[in-house]
Amino acid sequence: MADELYLENIDEFVTDHNRVVTYKWLSYTLGVHVNQAKQMLYDYVERKRKENSGAQLHVTYLVAGNLLQNGHFCHKVAVVREDKLEAMKSKLSTIASVHVYSIQKALLKDSSPLYNTDYDIVKTNLQHCSKFSAIRCAAAVPRTPPDAPQVPEPVQSPQRQRDPDAAINGHRVRAAKPPPQQHKGIMGMFAAKAAARPQDTPKEAKAEAKEAAGVSAANCKPPTKNTIMNNFFGKAAMNKLKANSVPEQPKEEKEVVKPSVAVAESESSPNTVAEKPGKKTESDRIQQKDKKSKTKRVDRSDDEEERDPENVKKKRKRIKQLLSDSSDEEADVPPSPTPEEERVPSPPPEPALKTELEPASTEVSAGGRKRKRKRVLKSRMFIDEEEGCMVTEKVYESESCTDSEDEFPKTKAPAPQEQAMLPTKREPKEERKNPKKGAAPASRANKQVSIMGFCQKK
């Protein structure tokens, strides 16, 4: 009979696997109501004992009832071994329930195996732990996401720390939380690439590329570019991303840049497509990487950390390589060719995206003022004309990834414009050099200066 199947199952669990089979464990394993599980256990015990009275079977029972204690009645619920069952039943003045609690082959000395079995099975079924229970509660519904408070802006830096998780979550909670999702999406895209380097799921990359392109496209002023992006990546991603307010974008761009810096080491080739918008504007700020990379690297995987010393250079080379591919100009000789060759990307969509990315990058750089959120205490010295003295002041500056943007906001204005004025197909080296020249003193202080800085293109 089909009903007898459970008997065989229980037999297998108890005798072959030598398990402690509690009613709860059986209920979850066979997917039956708890009361049915209890009855099944009882049935099995009865039959087994009838067939073979010398069966190696130990049973524990649950007894509940009223117990007269210290003059008042107390409801007692106890798990007892079979041999103590009758004694316990006689102690209770009224018995409320008796049923089989568990069956096992060995005699249990104490109840910790029972607890462990139940704990394990509940842990694996946490999401529906009341599914087979005898009581249903109508009020126990999960809270709707808008009830949960929105993640505020200041929480972004811890968010960034959680990027590897956010990448996955950024996808799932997208519908629920529009403002932070954008951060998660972009940051997640970049972060996940770094983290997913060993895993490198194409799906994720594609989705991330979608997000990245969506972001950059969203940043584009001309609507035509949006349609091109739409066609390329699909409307769904676009609509979701467009739902975000514009003020979010500068912040996002800033964050886009920052994670992309750290992520630059990622080897996956499809990812480079998405990284391009950030990277282009990044290229100028690469010297700032080491500082930020360190903070970002704290919570990155180990395989990133081992490349710490070379990161700075590598990122630069990589971007150079990318852009030299995309640009028509001559490519510069990279100082360290080997790491580059490992990651020579050749993404087919690259040329198609170039046109998008150029205005995107300019847009991004123009608004890149706020991209970086790192605040650094810096000493700034200037001559106060009125007083006729030199003033040194310590100021928190928002340091960003580009060289040109690591000074006060006022100095950022000329720098992005500088970039915007450059020809669309420009050398990565040149990009690096130009802003570098502009903010050389401050930038050189904390960047590794490349020898290529001396070569200038007229």
Partner 1 sequence: MFSEQAAATAQGLLAPPSAEPPTFPRVAVSGYSDCSQPFQLGERSFARQYAHIYAVRLAGMRPGLERRARSRWGNDVVLRRLSELQEGEKCCVVGTLFKSMQLQPSILQEISEEHNLVPQPPLPKYIQPSDELILEDELQRIKLEGAIDVQRLVTGTIVAVYGCEQDNGRFLVEDHCFADLPPPLPWSGPSSDRYVLLASGLGLGSVSGEALLSTQLLVDVVTGQLGAEGEQSCAAHITRVILAGNLLSQNTQSRDTINKAKYLTKKTQAASVEAVKMLDEILLQLCTSVPVDVMPGEFDPTNYTLPQQPLHRCMLPLASAYATLRLVTNPYQASLDGVRFLGTSGQNISDIFKYSSMDDYLEILEWTLLVGHISPTAPDTLGCYPFYKSDPFILTECPHVYFCGNAPHFQSKLLQGKEGQRVLLLTVPDFSATQTACLVNLHDLSCQPITFSSFGADSEDGDMELEH
Task: Spell out the long-range contacts of 153-160 with Cβ–Cβ below 8 A and sequence spacing 24 or more.
Answer: 153/251, 156/183, 156/251, 156/255, 156/373, 157/373, 159/183, 159/184, 159/187, 160/187, 160/191, 160/255, 160/258, 160/259, 160/296
The nearer residue to partner 1, 46 or 330, going by C-beta atoms, is 46
Q: What is the Cα–Cα distance from 129 to 112, expressed in whole angstroms?
A: 21
Tell me the per-residue interface mask from 322 to 361 with partner 1, x by CB under 8 A, - otherwise.
Answer: ----------------------------------------
Taking the complex as a whole, the smallest distance from the CB of residue 58 to partner 1 amounts, in Å, to 12
Q: Counting contacts by CB under 8 A, is residue 372 touching partner 1?
A: no
Residues 176-235 that bind partner 1 (CB under 8 A): none
The nearer residue to partner 1, 64 or 217, going by C-beta atoms, is 64
Q: What is the Cα–Cα distance from 439 to 77, expressed in whole angstroms?
A: 76
Residues 114-143 that bind partner 1 (CB under 8 A): 114-115, 118-119, 122-123, 126, 128-130, 132-143
Q: Counting contacts by CB under 8 A, is residue 169 touching partner 1?
A: no
Q: Counting contacts by CB under 8 A, is residue 150 touching partner 1?
A: no
Residue with tokens 């009645």: 73
Q: Counting contacts by CB under 8 A, is residue 98 touching partner 1?
A: yes
Taking the complex as a whole, the smallest distance from the CB of residue 66 to partner 1 amounts, in Å, to 4
Q: Which of 9, 15, 111, 269 binds partner 1 (CB under 8 A)?
A: 111
Taking the complex as a whole, the smallest distance from the CB of residue 145 to partner 1 amounts, in Å, to 10
Q: Give residue 298's identity as a one-letter amino acid code.
A: V
Q: Which of 1, 3, 383, 386 binds partner 1 (CB under 8 A)?
A: 3
Q: Which residues of 338-352 are buried (b: 16+ CB within 10 A; e: fewer)?
A: ebbeebebebebbee
Q: Counting contacts by CB under 8 A, is residue 291 touching partner 1?
A: no
The interface region with partner 1, picked from 57-65, 180-188, 194-202, 213-221 by CB under 8 A, is 57-65
CB-based contacts of 103, cutoff 8 Å, min separation 6: 10, 14, 20, 21, 41, 44, 45, 57, 58, 59, 60
Q: Which residues of 208-244 are buried (b: 16+ CB within 10 A; e: fewer)?
A: bbbbbbbbbbbbbeeeebbebbbebbeeebbebbeeb
Q: Counting contacts by CB under 8 A, is residue 394 touching partner 1?
A: no
Q: Taking a C-beta distance cutoff of 8 angstroms, is the pair 61, 32 a contact?
A: no
Collapsed DSSP state (helix, strand, coil) of residue 121: helix
Q: Which of 29, 55, 57, 91 binds partner 1 (CB under 8 A)?
A: 91
Q: Counting contacts by CB under 8 A, is residue 237 touching partner 1?
A: no
Taking the complex as a whole, the smallest distance from the CB of residue 8 to partner 1 amounts, in Å, to 14
Q: What is the Cα–Cα distance from 145 to 379, expressed in whole angstroms?
A: 45
The interface region with partner 1, picked from 62-70, 254-262, 268-276, 423-431 by CB under 8 A, is 62-70
Q: Taking a C-beta distance cutoff of 8 angstroms, is the pair 407, 439 a contact?
A: yes
Residues 13-52 that bind partner 1 (CB under 8 A): 24, 27, 33-36, 38-40, 42-43, 46
Q: Which of 21, 62, 189, 207 binds partner 1 (CB under 8 A)?
A: 62
The nearer residue to partner 1, 115 or 408, going by C-beta atoms, is 115
Q: Counting contacts by CB under 8 A, is residue 80 touching partner 1?
A: yes
Q: Taking a C-beta distance cutoff of 8 angstroms, is the pair 88, 11 a contact?
A: no
Q: What is the Cα–Cα distance from 222 to 250, expressed in whole angstroms?
A: 17
Taking the complex as a whole, the smallest distance from the CB of residue 149 to partner 1 amounts, in Å, to 9
The interface region with partner 1, picked from 82-90, 172-180, 223-231, 299-307 by CB under 8 A, is 82-90
Q: What is the Cα–Cα distance from 147 to 153, expressed in whole angstroms?
A: 18
The nearer residue to partner 1, 64 or 241, going by C-beta atoms, is 64
Q: Counting contacts by CB under 8 A, is residue 298 touching partner 1?
A: no
The nearer residue to partner 1, 64 or 366, going by C-beta atoms, is 64
